[in-house]
Amino acid sequence: MDSSSFLPAAGAENGSAAGGANNGGAAQQHAAPAIREQDRLMPIANVIRIMRRVLPAHAKISDDAKETIQECVSEYISFITGEANERCQREQRKTITAEDVLWAMSRLGFDDYVEPLGAYLHRYREFEGDARGVGLVPGAAPSRGGDHHPHSMSPAAMLKSRGPVSGAAMLPHHHHHHDMQMHAAMYGGTAVPPPAGPPHHGGFLMPHPQGSSHYLPYAYEPTYGGEHAMAAYYGGAAYAPGNGGSGDGSGSGGGGGSASHTPQGSGGLEHPHPFAYK
């Protein structure tokens, strides 16, 4: 069906020269794609900026070349996504992950891209937790506010026992709590969850429902990433109050989240409170 996304453009370019049958077909398909014409391509300003980065200063780019590259980028995304999607279907999974995208690229000949992209993804996960939280909010799966996981009390108890010892321990603890909650939300009554394995966070020996994925311990990152960002913010706020920029980013992400995040927001400065409400 990728070809259908280009037929309207061809029809528009041909105009009256197109045959009757072709014109009818193009007209039928033109309505919906035309409305989302802007959504079909990458923004041309971004594409031009990338092009100019690799061209000498005196180089010029014609308008038709810009448009052609826009089309090529969209086709590239669809091409890779199609391959990643096939892999998900074979493995009976419903979510296309970053690892699926990297696998599809190596399979389709873009081997040179996989290593820089892997490093980019790793760096993104390490340093841009706030951006990840903001970016992931629209795609986050809605969590059930009323659902109370049986294990949710244990993390609270562990938190209280570990509180006086070290503040750094709270952050990974927060991970586990939210991860289990999302795990229940994502796999309740549907797909079989991945095999359980020990978590990779130092200091915690509690068995983790989700095992390691192919590359990294964080399987099915979307909502977890968002939670991780807020966890990073709340953890950091307690011990680094001067981090204003990070707070702004996380606050925006929290605003976009579901109602279940509100208690944590109100209890941001007092760590025990979020768990007491659960």
Partner 1 sequence: MRQARPYSGIFCGGVSARTGPHALPLARIKKIMKRSAGEAAAAADGGARMISGEAPVVFSKACELFVAELTRRAWAATLDGKRRTVHREDVATAVHNTDLFDFLVDVVTADTAGGTGGGGHDGNGAL
Q: Which parts of 161-200 interact with partner 1 (CB under 8 A)?
A: none
- What is the total count of residues that contact partner 1 (CB under 8 A)? 95
CB contact set of 194 (below 8 Å; sequence gap of 6+): 210, 211, 213, 219
Q: Does 21 bind partner 1 (CB under 8 A)?
A: no
List 20, 109, 146, 207, residue binding partner 1 (CB under 8 A): 109
130-138, 170-178, 194-202, 270-278 -> range binding partner 1 (CB under 8 A): 130-138
97-105, 142-150, 154-162, 204-212 -> range binding partner 1 (CB under 8 A): 97-105
Write down the least CB distance from residue 245 to partner 1, Å: 5
Quick one: 30 or 162, whose CB is closer to partner 1?
30
b or e along 170-194 (b: 16 or more beta carbons within 10 Å of the residue's beta carbon)? Answer: bbbbbbbbbbbbbbbbbeeeeeebb
Q: Does 10 bind partner 1 (CB under 8 A)?
A: yes
Supply 261's token pair: 């995040």
What's the start-to-end Cα distance of the chain, in Å?
46
Quick one: 93 or 151, whose CB is closer to partner 1?
93
Q: Which residue in this structure is represented by tokens 């599809």?
A: 104
User: Among residue numbers 67 through 96, which ones bind partner 1 (CB under 8 A)?
Assistant: 67-69, 71-82, 84-86, 88-89, 94-96
| CB distance 33 to 5 below 8 Å | yes
Q: How many CB atoms lie within 10 A of CB 18?
A: 17
User: Among residue numbers 234 through 263, which ones bind partner 1 (CB under 8 A)?
Assistant: 245-246, 249, 252
| CB distance 155 to 177 below 8 Å | yes
List 35, 60, 189, 192, residue binding partner 1 (CB under 8 A): 60
Q: Does 205 bind partner 1 (CB under 8 A)?
A: no
Helix or strand (DSSP H, E) at 167: none
